[in-house]
Structures are given as C-alpha cells and as structure tokens.
C-alpha cells in the first residue's frame, strides 16, 4: 500500500475531522485528502492573527475553494500572551497552544472527534516545540503518522493536481525575530510588508529577518548576485525605511530554513524532537 492510500485510510477511520489549515502545502495536502475521503464531514479552519500575512490568508481561501473543502476562519489571541510576545525559545509552543485551545472546543461543539494538522515526518526531526503543544491537546498529524516527508508532500500534491505543490514554505511571521526580541504587531507588519515587496520583485524563497531596527534579507545563495545586479537598491532601501526599518542588509550566506535556531544550545535541540 502506498503512502497516499495509507493517508486516505487514516481519514476514513476518523469519520469526521477538522484540519488546522494555514494554506501551506502541508496542511493543504491534508485538507485535500480529508475532503476527498470525508466530503462535507471535513472542515478546514484557518487561524487569523497578525502573524499571518493577509496575502497568505487570501491564498488559503482560494485554495480551499479550489479543493472544495468547507472553510472557516477563527481569530486567535497569541499576541495577548506575554509568554508568546516575549519570544522565548519555545515561542511556538504557546502559539500552537492558543491554536489548539481554540480548535478543540470548536471540534467538540460541532461533533468532530478529531483535529488534525499538517505536520510531516521531517518536522519531527526539527526544533518544533509546537508539535508537543498540539499533541497535548489531542491533535493528530496524519502526514507524520504515515511517514510522509516534505519532498513526498510535494510529490503527492503534484500527483493530485494541486497547482501549489511547489509553494515555498511560509511559516508565521514571528519566526523572523531572534529569540528574546519582543514581538509586536508593528514589527510583524513591517516584516510582512518587506516580504511582500520582495515577492512583488519576483522573489519566492526568501525571508526578511528583523533584528532591532535592521532588516536582514535572506535569498537563495545562487540568486544573490543577480538580485544585487538587477534591483534598484536605493529604491528598496527607501521602501524598507518607509516600512519602519532604519537599516537594510543582505545576508551573504543566503536563505536557510530555521537559521535563527543555530543559536540554541545542543541540549535544547536534542530535547525538542517529538
């Protein structure tokens, strides 16, 4: 039995399920398979907060409509929790706690026995404290249960005809700040505006890291030279300063997912695998 069939069997055994749906390719695949198997007994729910770009929310709406899954939005209040806004190394734990503390009562009220997310097998090997928060609240991760890696997520999504199969990863905007730097709505907004600006220039895989009043742009290493040659850098700097940054820099190492985790001690990372 291939992994897609295993995934379908998991959803068939659930009977009804809510999918924690961000619009990223992982949760989109989970939503697609849930809808194919369960039909109207599957519901995708997107958490809306300042850490989600408005454009990403609109993408999630469009994708859900294309898939055909029922889709709702809920407001989450992680920004009201100082354990989150103070940005400790386990910030993601408090984010996912808020998410699943919102989704679980909704599921119980509507008669859904399961809440599932888009965690894949590769996520289990990364520093993801939010996975523990989800598990503590009874959430399931069908992709990880089947052993589907990120590459396999994209492969299966492509086979199912999802046009977003190669969509770049877009974690919440709070991941752009070094641990210990306070997160505010204004800071999230200026990071979001900076990333939108770069996307409008044609960039796909990118991050705007925010450190104090400095924006540090990360692009794939192979794209840096052409970006510098082709971009109106004074215009870019002016735009970023309008967004609220004072200094604008380019990371010469280039984009690397989870780069801010490199400051963590080995014992923190070792204890994070769920």
pLDDT of residue 1: 64
Domains and CATH numbers, the chain: 3-159 (3.40.50.620), 173-256 (3.30.300)
pLDDT of residue 267: 43
pLDDT of residue 53: 87
DSSP 23: S
Alpha-helix runs per DSSP H in the chain: 3-14, 25-38, 54-67, 82-85, 91-110, 129-136, 142-146, 150-159, 185-200, 221-230, 233-243, 266-270
Q: Can you tell me the mean pLDDT for 116-121?
A: 97
User: By three-state DSSP, how is residue 214 classified?
Assistant: strand
pLDDT in tens, 126-181: 888 999 999 999 999 999 999 999 999 999 999 999 999 999 888 889 999 999 99
Alpha-helix runs per DSSP H in 15-149: 25-38, 54-67, 82-85, 91-110, 129-136, 142-146
Percent of the chain whose predicted confidence (pLDDT) is above 70: 94
Average confidence score pLDDT of the chain: 93
pLDDT in tens, 72-92: 999 999 999 999 999 999 999
- Reply yes or no on whether the pLDDT at 264 is more than 80: no
- Reply yes or no on whether the pLDDT at 3 is more than 70: yes
pLDDT in tens, 10-25: 999 999 999 999 999 9
pLDDT of residue 127: 85
pLDDT of residue 269: 46
Give the residues across from 248 on adjacent strands: 215
Q: Can you tell me the mean pLDDT for 88-108?
A: 96
274 band by pLDDT with thresholds 50, 70 and 90: very low
- Strand order through the sheet with 17-20: 70-75, 42-48, 17-20, 115-116
- Tell me if 44 sits within 8 A of 79, measured CB to CB: no
Report the alpha-carbon distance of residue 139 to residue 11 in Å, rounded: 13
Q: Can you tell me the mean pLDDT for 16-42?
A: 97
């Amino acid at each position: 039995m291939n992994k897609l069939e295993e995934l379908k069997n998991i959803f068939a055994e659930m009977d009804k399920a809510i999918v924690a749906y961000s619009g990223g390719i992982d949760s989109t695949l989970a939503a697609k398979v849930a809808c194919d198997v369960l039909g109207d007994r599957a519901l995708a729910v997107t958490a809306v907060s300042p850490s989600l770009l408005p454009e990403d929310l609109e993408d999630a709406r469009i994708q859900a409509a294309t898939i055909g899954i029922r889709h709702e939005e809920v407001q989450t209040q992680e920004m009201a929790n100082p354990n989150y806004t103070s940005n400790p190394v386990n910030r993601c734990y408090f984010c996912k706690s808020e998410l699943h503390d919102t989704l679980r009562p909704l599921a119980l009220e509507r008669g859904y026995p399961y809440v599932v997310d888009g965690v894949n097998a590769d996520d289990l090997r990364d520093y993801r404290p939010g996975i523990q928060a989800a598990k503590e609240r009874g959430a399931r991760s069908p992709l990880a249960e089947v052993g589907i890696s990120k590459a396999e997520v994209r492969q299966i999504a492509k086979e199912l005809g999802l046009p977003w199969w190669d969509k770049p990863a877009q974690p919440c905007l709070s991941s752009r700040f070094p641990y210990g730097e306070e997160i505010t709505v204004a800071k999230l907004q200026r990071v979001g505006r900076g990333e939108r600006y770069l996307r409008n220039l044609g960039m796909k895989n990118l991050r705007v890291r925010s450190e104090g009043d400095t924006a540090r742009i990360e692009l794939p290493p192979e794209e840096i030279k052409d970006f510098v040659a082709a971009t109106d850098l004074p215009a870019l700097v002016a735009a970023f300063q309008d967004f609220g940054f004072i200094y604008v820099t380019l990371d010469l190492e280039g984009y690397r997912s989870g780069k801010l985790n490199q400051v963590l001690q080995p014992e923190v990372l070792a204890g994070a695998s769920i």
